Chain A
Amino acid sequence: MSTAGDAPKRRGKAPAGERVADWADGRLGIYSLAKANMRKIFPDHWSFMLGEICLYSFIIIILTGVYLTLFFNPSMGEVEYHGAYVPMQGVHMSQAYASTLDISFDVRGGLLMRQIHHWAALVFLVGMFVHMMRVFFTGAFRKPREINWLFGFLLLVLGMFTGFTGYSLPDDLLSGTGVRFMEGAVLSVPVVGTYIAFFLFGGEFPGTDIIPRFFVAHVLLLPGIMLGLVVAHLILVFYHKHTQFAGPGRTEKNVVGMPLLPVYMAKAGGFFFLVFGVISVIAATFTINPIWVLGPYRPDQVSTNAQPDWYMGFSEGLIRAMPAWEMVLPGGYTLNLGVAIPLVVIFPLVLTSIAVYPFIESWITGDKREHHILDRPRNAPTRTAFGAAWISLYFLLLVGGGNDLWATHFNLSINAITWFVRIGFFVVPVVVFIVTKRICLGLQRRDREKVLHGRESGIIKRLPHGEFVEVHEPLSREQLHTLTAHEQYEPLEIGPETDENGVRRKVGPVQKLRARLSRGYYGEGSQIPKPTAEEFKELTSGHSHGH
């Protein structure tokens, strides 16, 4: 510090920014924090920006949502409308609906904010689904990231319910029908359903409490929890350091990419503006949720094509496809299985299966190591097949949820579509599972071929005796490494039934199940052995004069 070079600097005034930073460091210790993070390396891949879309649309939702609360009146008090929208004048409606009309027709830019808010919510949910698919299919949920997977899962579920409570707030005919649906679902809960419904609605449906209560859940409770989860999610992303795909120079012990400052600051910061800009343009050009067309809610009115927002569509499909099972138990109690099974049993199961998957897979593999190199989906065929089967089920139920739209748009029988969904619920995921696994194995075989025999160059050579052969070009060292970098598990062996003394070993049913699953994941027919160095050398040395 006392060298000649430093002395004048100390005497002169440091730049203003530096002085502010010094001040903050003395109180917050920002230099130590920045030392670890300012030049933190982030790997680059297009699929890594999917999570960013979620983060940015979440911020956009909060910004526009705060604006909307300035004008929205979450009350179910009855008023007669006298605002700017002529067709509704004189109509009885709740203050919630009337203030939503005011936001749309009396507040300049209010409609734009409403539309950005709703579009951003749809993008948020789509983003989370696709981001989770990326994480799932590349195995990024493996140790040490299982907890972050759970955080993400909770964000998805909370996002769905925040969306539901949000689009119910305007108290229009469509969303009110959705709330009635929810009441029916709650009533179907055995034993306590009626009580939950009365407590939730503050009495009989619809009452005057549900919109104010949804409002509190939508603007305070749920987003508060989500904000906490988002922060925790990001802290863990920083702490674990981002995963990367296999490639030259990339190992389990390093992370290769660009530094946070400046490249990712600029790219990620810029991407926020790109997302916001695109959503603004969409909101400027495409109407979403035109509540003024639908009219205020009345329990004795309904419109056709009543569909929830897309992310709730699979529950709609479940309820539409479920057969009408209702029984009266001895003692005079009704068990409404037709509603309870899809909404109280299957709906949570479909979601929970996402949450628990990482733990099931790590139990099957028994792998307790950290994983930072991502799998290509083809190299984990069973996992990929499970994921694809889940997605196919989800989309099938979306079809079921819109069975009336399919019927009217494609001139089909609605009964036939419903039956298709009922049967497909059991058949489609199985078929998709098998097909996906086979496709993965095919791709693995192709990788193997490429490594051992090189890439098809498209050049045809005629040999002296007239035979035509295609010239294969050997892969570069980088490509060879990338295509063979993945690990292949051996299936778990239970071992012989008896030990060396001929005494029967005890193997519990759980161990047996684990071994079975492990065979299904990694046994014969579930992965193509990757080429070994020996195979490669034998082929290349033997054919060095050939191709």
Chain B
Amino acid sequence: MSSHTGSHDVPDENLPAGREGAHGEAARAENPFADPGLPPHEPRVQDIDERAAKRSERTVALLFTVSILATIGFIASYVIFPIDQYVFIWPLGEISALNFSLGMTLGIALFCIGAGAVHWARTLMSDHELIGERHPIEADEPTRTQVLADFGQGAKESQLGRRKLIRNTMFGALAVVPLSGVVLLRDLGPLPEDKLRHTAWERGKLLVNQNTDEPLRPEDITVGSLVFAKPEGLEEGTHEFMAEIAKAAVMLVRLEPKDIKDKQELDWSHEGIVAYSRICTHVGCPVTLYEQQTHHVLCPCHQSTFDLADGARVIFGPAGHPLPQLRISVNEDGYLEAQGDFAEPVGPSFWERG
């Protein structure tokens, strides 16, 4: 083997001796582990018994026939079953008759072709093991020399190495030409500017109940309840709804003012009603799970847990900072309104967030 390691540079000092050099009867006497060679072929029952072979033939033909029938069944199912028919099939339950029958017939049609082919190959086709030779992937030395010489010749004739001016300008041109493609990508989207810092909230905007679309009054929010709110004027189905609600969604809970531990939270609340951004500061899932007794909210995606009685401090999980609070009060008509936008960007943090 070491005659053909092909390695042009590496000595074989620590490599094992290899498997070669142990062939033939003489070697075998010497080495009890020597390769005894391919064992003799053992005939299958189909090789000696023509009746068994016939049986295999019939099995294969049967499988192919079943496949044909299954395909007919597929077409029949497509025609027969209405798309909205549901049937009970044990143990699967109430399922679509069409989906089930199409899938089963297609599956059987395909599987039987496969089973037939494999059975044919295993029982009837010759199972004599054959030996193929391997040849080294690497070219022999003359070829290698020839190719390298040809390349050298070509390179020399191009004069690339000699005419440095051509070489350098060519590399330069090739290096800058992809910039056109990069420039074209500029209009993939607008620049971020300060878009992530602003939401639809502003001073005087009413807090609207997301379920009823009615403006919220403090008395609508009882102790222990959780209410989802959006800024007034944000209508579902409009073009900007998705982008705006992705930042502006808030939740309202009413706490006992004495339970609020954070001073700013108390100042920004109204009669113990606090409004917090629902967009998790981890990667942006809406925080939805509220534990009434502990005042914890939990993000169902990655289990970041925030303490709403303590400035929405992160008490568990991967979120990096508290949920931003929306400063609220009540207007002269008795409705809850925002005192301004969030003081800090909502949602996941980003490089420019600060």
Q: Give the complex CA separation of A306 and B184 in angstroms.
A: 37
Please give, as numbers and ranges, the residues of chain B lying within 8 Å of A259 by CB-CB distance.
130
Q: What is the CB-to-nearest-CB distance from A496 to chain B, in angstroms, rounded to a whole number?
A: 15
Partner of B278, one of A184, A300, A418: A300
A525 within 8 A of B: no
Given the known interface contacts A256-B130, A306-B300, A368-B7, the answer about A109 and B283 at a Cβ–Cβ threshold of 8 Å is: no
B33 with A480: CB separation less than 8 A: yes
Please give, as numbers and ranges, the residues of chain A lying within 8 Å of B330 by CB-CB distance.
none
A298 within 8 A of B: yes
B15 with A366: CB separation less than 8 A: yes
Please give, as numbers and ranges, the residues of chain B lying within 8 Å of A270 by CB-CB distance.
113-118, 120-121
A336 with B350: CB separation less than 8 A: yes
Indicate the member of B35, B110, B283, B284 with the most A CB atoms within 10 Å: B283
B286 with A324: CB separation less than 8 A: no
Q: Residue-by-residue, is B192-236 near A (CB-CB < 8 Å gives 1, otherwise 0)?
A: 100110000000000000100000000000000000101000001
B100 with A320: CB separation less than 8 A: no
Nearest B residue (CB) for A532: B33
B303 within 8 A of A: yes
A324 with B185: CB separation less than 8 A: no
Please give, as numbers and ranges, the residues of chain A lying within 8 Å of B14 by CB-CB distance.
366, 489-493, 518
A487 within 8 A of B: yes
Q: Give the complex CA separation of A106 and B84 in angstroms.
A: 9
A195 within 8 A of B: yes
Nearest B residue (CB) for A279: B107
Nearest B residue (CB) for A107: B83
A328 within 8 A of B: yes
Q: Residue-by-residue, is B313-354 near A (CB-CB < 8 Å gives 1, otherwise 0)?
A: 010111111000000000000000000000000011111111
Nearest A residue (CB) for B242: A206
A520 within 8 A of B: no
Nearest A residue (CB) for B321: A326
Q: Residue-by-residue, is A245-277 near B (CB-CB < 8 Å gives 1, otherwise 0)?
A: 000111111111111001100110111111111
Partner of A369, one of B1, B116, B120, B121: B1
Given the known interface contacts A188-B348, A274-B115, the answer about A249 and B191 at a Cβ–Cβ threshold of 8 Å is: no
Q: Give the complex CA separation of A373 and B18 in angstroms.
A: 11
- How many of chain A's residues touch chain B, expressed as a range? 35 or more
B52 within 8 A of A: no
Q: What is the CB-to-nearest-CB distance from A286 to chain B, in angstroms, rounded to a whole number?
A: 8
Please give, as numbers and ranges, the residues of chain A lying within 8 Å of B278 by CB-CB distance.
300
Please give, as numbers and ranges, the residues of chain A lying within 8 Å of B316 by CB-CB distance.
415, 418
B32 within 8 A of A: yes
A369 with B15: CB separation less than 8 A: yes
B354 with A489: CB separation less than 8 A: no
Please give, as numbers and ranges, the residues of chain B lying within 8 Å of A338 by CB-CB distance.
282, 318-320
Q: What is the CB-to-nearest-CB distance from B201 to chain A, in angstroms, rounded to a whole number?
A: 14
A200 with B246: CB separation less than 8 A: no
Given the known interface contacts A106-B83, A334-B352, the answer about A369 and B210 at a Cβ–Cβ threshold of 8 Å is: no
Nearest B residue (CB) for A401: B302
Segment at the interface with A among B91-99, B142-150, B164-172, B268-276: B91-99
Partner of A248, one of B38, B118, B351: B38
A252 with B19: CB separation less than 8 A: yes
Q: What is the CB-to-nearest-CB distance from A406 to chain B, in angstroms, rounded to a whole number?
A: 12
Q: What is the CB-to-nearest-CB distance from B120 to chain A, in angstroms, rounded to a whole number?
A: 6
Q: Give the complex CA separation of A275 and B16 in angstroms.
A: 42
Which residues 67-121 of A sit at the B interface, judged by CB distance below 8 A? Answer: 78, 80, 84, 92, 105-106, 108-109, 111-112, 115-116
B246 with A205: CB separation less than 8 A: yes
Q: Give the complex CA separation of A370 and B138 in angstroms.
A: 10
Q: What is the CB-to-nearest-CB distance from A230 to chain B, in angstroms, rounded to a whole number?
A: 20
Q: What is the CB-to-nearest-CB distance from B10 to chain A, in angstroms, rounded to a whole number?
A: 5
B116 with A477: CB separation less than 8 A: no
Q: Residue-by-residue, is A300-311 near B (CB-CB < 8 Å gives 1, otherwise 0)?
A: 111111100000
A209 with B189: CB separation less than 8 A: yes
B157 within 8 A of A: no
Partner of B190, one of A106, A198, A478, A490: A198
Please give, as numbers and ranges, the residues of chain B lying within 8 Å of A481 by CB-CB distance.
33-36
B192 with A198: CB separation less than 8 A: yes
Given the known interface contacts A105-B84, A263-B126, the answer about A277 and B111 at a Cβ–Cβ threshold of 8 Å is: yes
Q: What is the CB-to-nearest-CB distance from A9 to chain B, in angstroms, rounded to a whole number?
A: 27
B137 within 8 A of A: yes
B354 with A332: CB separation less than 8 A: yes
Please give, as numbers and ranges, the residues of chain A lying within 8 Å of B99 by CB-CB distance.
109, 111-112, 115, 284
Given the known interface contacts A84-B83, A84-B84, A92-B236, the answer about A273 and B111 at a Cβ–Cβ threshold of 8 Å is: yes
A277 with B84: CB separation less than 8 A: no
Q: Give the complex CA separation of A278 and B210 in angstroms.
A: 46
Given the known interface contacts A198-B189, A284-B103, A415-B316, the answer about A277 and B114 at a Cβ–Cβ threshold of 8 Å is: yes
A278 with B131: CB separation less than 8 A: no
Segment at the interface with B among A26-34, A175-183, A433-441: A175-183
Q: What is the CB-to-nearest-CB distance from A244 to chain B, in angstroms, rounded to a whole number?
A: 10
A372 within 8 A of B: yes
Which residues 193-224 of A sit at the B interface, judged by CB distance below 8 A? Answer: 193-195, 197-207, 209
Given the known interface contacts A273-B113, A280-B103, A533-B33, the answer about A336 and B348 at a Cβ–Cβ threshold of 8 Å is: yes
Other A-B pairs, 10, CB within 8 Å; known A334-B350, A372-B134? A105-B83, A207-B243, A248-B38, A270-B121, A300-B210, A300-B246, A304-B300, A339-B282, A404-B300, A478-B36
